Amino acid sequence: MSLAFTPAEIAEHRADAESRMTSQVTIRRISGPAAQGLDGTVTPPWAEISTGVPFRLGGNYRGGSRSRTEGPDGAETEIAFRTGHLPHGFTDLRDGDFIDITDGENAGSVWVVEEATWQDQASARRVPIYQTQRPEEWDA
């Protein structure tokens, strides 16, 4: 008994998954070393990778919560991971990319991609993400 989907079934599942991606996002990436401005502030340069990408913010990643070590002192802080759903055909995503929800239920929230890995026969690109503060320089 084969559990593999036919190409037509995969296409149908992908179209169904994308129809539930009712938010829009902009994907941003730090594109080089941070620079110091005339006022002394240090900010990284940002590259806008893609805009208007369909997106759905899902629940806990794979049904469980995880912790992540964060902070200069190495203290373990509990950070809730969620699942970011992107169209299967969207492939320009890397660990550490920022997802800025620009339209939809959670517009204004910013998320960081923890791990940008793919799988075979998936109906969407599902990646673990965690929420972060919006970088001030985006609004400058």
**Model confidence over 59-117: pLDDT tens digits?**
875 555 565 656 667 677 777 889 999 999 999 999 999 999 999 999 999 999 999 98
Q: What is the residue-averaged pLDDT of the chain?
A: 87
Count the domains in the chain. Answer: 1
Domain holding 90, by residue range, is 7-139
2 falls within a domain: no
* Angle (nearest 5°) at CA 62 between 54 and 99: 30
What CATH number is given to the structural domain containing 22?
2.40.10.270
pTM for the model = 0.84
Query: Is 22:104 a contact under the CB 8 Å cutoff?
Result: yes
Could you tell me where the DSSP H helices lie in the chain? 7-19
CA atoms of 94 and 85, how far apart (whole Å): 14
107 falls within a domain: yes
Strand-pair category, 125-132 with 35-36: unpaired
